[in-house]
Amino acid sequence: MLRNIDPILSPDILYALASMGHGDEIVIADANFPADSSGPQSLHAEGSNASDMLRAVLSLMPLDTFVPDPAITMQVVGDPDAIPDAVKDFQKVIDDAADAPAQITNLERFAFYDRAATGFAVIQTGERRLYGNIILKKGVIA
């Protein structure tokens, strides 16, 4: 146990975050996301929800300020303009916890899966809300 580090961040998650470089992406995924088959390393945190994990990750990792879309969610199938409750909550967390808050953008479902497959890692949470998935691009630590 370490001080000032959220205890939902396991040693494996901490290692992944520390190993990432500027521009690398990490996925925080809900319980339905195909994390183990998506491609990158899958890290399990089923005892947490996606919003708490997002807050914990942002306590250690800055969002990239050199791109227009450092935080990306999945569009609702059949209603791309809908904003799911999980995504509304993600935006509040980013506004409150990010060093440089950014507006969340979104991608069509299969484009989101393709993007996630190129990420550094996927953190699979126990999030039960639908569309509780977000991709974060790591920024520079000055």
Residues written for the chain: 142
Alpha helices in 9-124 (DSSP H): 11-19, 50-58, 85-97, 109-117
Query: Please, what is the Cα angle at 68 between 67 and 74, to 5 degrees?
Result: 110
44 a catalytic residue:
no
Dist. CA 93–CA 89, nearest whole Å:
6
Helix or strand (DSSP H, E) at 106: strand 105-107
Q: Cβ distance 137 to 94 under 8 Å?
A: no
Of 8, 9, 20, 22, the catalytic one is: 22
Q: Cβ distance 82 to 106 under 8 Å?
A: no
The set of catalytic residues is 22
